[in-house]
Structure 1
Amino acid sequence: MRATVGVSIAAIALAGCSAAPAGPDPSSTVTGSYAPTGRADHPDASDASGSLSVAALEIPISTSPSDAAKLVEQRFAAWQMAGTTDPTYRARLNFSGSTGSFTANIAATNATAFTQALFVPGWQSNSVLSGRARGEQQNNAGRIENWIITYKSGDPADKQVYKYWTTIESEQVQQASSTSALVDVTVTEHNNSAQNRIGLQYHPVEVSQNGNRYLSHIQLAAVGGTWKIANYDAEGAPSQ
């Protein structure tokens, strides 16, 4: 299914907006978590308060192109589950609007930090990158909702709290210099929807998406001492 800085999740949620924001707000910040927490390939980018910071999400230019491309994919996986924290759950309990508008508010804020950290300046005018941002934002909202449904639910069908993550299968540098690089990365997507009501009741298609593999072509550019995504394309990975 391929489709953050510092206001807290609770502050955003309790603002009570009934409609989803039009897009990332350059002035906002985010609280979130990676999924699954503690995976070595999903490094923690939160500060002591638990807020994700743009600086921690950025990829230093000292990182090799191969490792930078892998970090891009790891950041994308982190983006999809950003905001799945206990404060988010408690904020939802105090939010008078729908879960959909609640998660949309959070996802829009998350998108601001991830795009600022990962995408080249002016990415909004690149149809590929703007489409990627919209897709990640929508997926993030949906996955936060899936998580809220299964977190502390008490329903016996929810054997595990919903989560989504990826694993890197391989990477290959196609071109690299001190200012740019093109790297192919093969990624497998995972979710545990078969262990909760997300797969059993709400979104059965997610069960079949567990184990999906794709091949991404990541164009990197050096910007201000960091690697940024200049272009991105993904397709189904060849069978092995």
Structure 2
Amino acid sequence: MTGELSPIDKAKFAAAKRAVDFVEDGMRVGLGTGSTAAWMVRCLGEMVREDGLKIKGVPTSVRTAELARQVGIEVISLDEAKWLDLTIDGADEFDADLNLIKGGGGALLQEKIVATASDQMIVIADTAKEVATLGAFPLPVEVIPFGWQTTRALIDEALINLDVMGREVTLRMNGEAPFVTDEGNHILDLHLKRIGNPRQLSLVVNQIPGVVENGLFIDICDVVVVGHGDGKVEVRDINAGTVEEEKIDFLEGDNLFNDL
């Protein structure tokens, strides 16, 4: 079955398969959103069904919650969990300091809340997500619908004084209508091309009235697991300063692929 997967999907699967090794029995685990995180949820579901792993999952979106329930993971809210042992999620970009851009799937608010309520955040990604400088991927900013055009104008003005290469701001659409997040908000995508000072940008943008949260994750990620199309994975621990390489075997009969 894995022979039918593209190299990118194999890389995502390899990263997800390695990342779930961090999960132990009895843990409360934040479950990320996106294509790579979906592989991770399926891997955890297989461990629950086949190995008897007992965990409680806190999803970061409605669609992740639905998938988690489908694969047999017990789902609870963050209020019920109060604090998490671990969160595993994907990223749209990450740099050498493991700072991230997230929110391409529109779940950045819940993702950031869940990640910061965890003892550890592990990011799973393919090699294409690694960048020297953040910003090639448009930065998502979640805003309330009321007065969103005013909020966009204030963001436009703020960007003039920030270290960025581009300043185009667009409203994310879903067909003919604005995209709506799980919290009922809109998303403005900031096409910055290069972010010279992510920390400053995050602080400035979040001070603008109407902004709920932005997709910069600064000093939140502890470990990134980078997957390659041949099954190789790199585990980079920012706190320990270590990089480990392993090889993940693709099992043709893996139940994980039955629902794809």
> Highest Rg: 1 or 2?
2
Question: Do these two structures clear the TM 0.5 threshold for a shared fold by scoring above it?
Answer: no
| TM-score, normalisation: structure 2 | 0.25
Greater helix fraction, Structure 1 or Structure 2 = 1
| TM-score, normalisation: structure 1 | 0.27
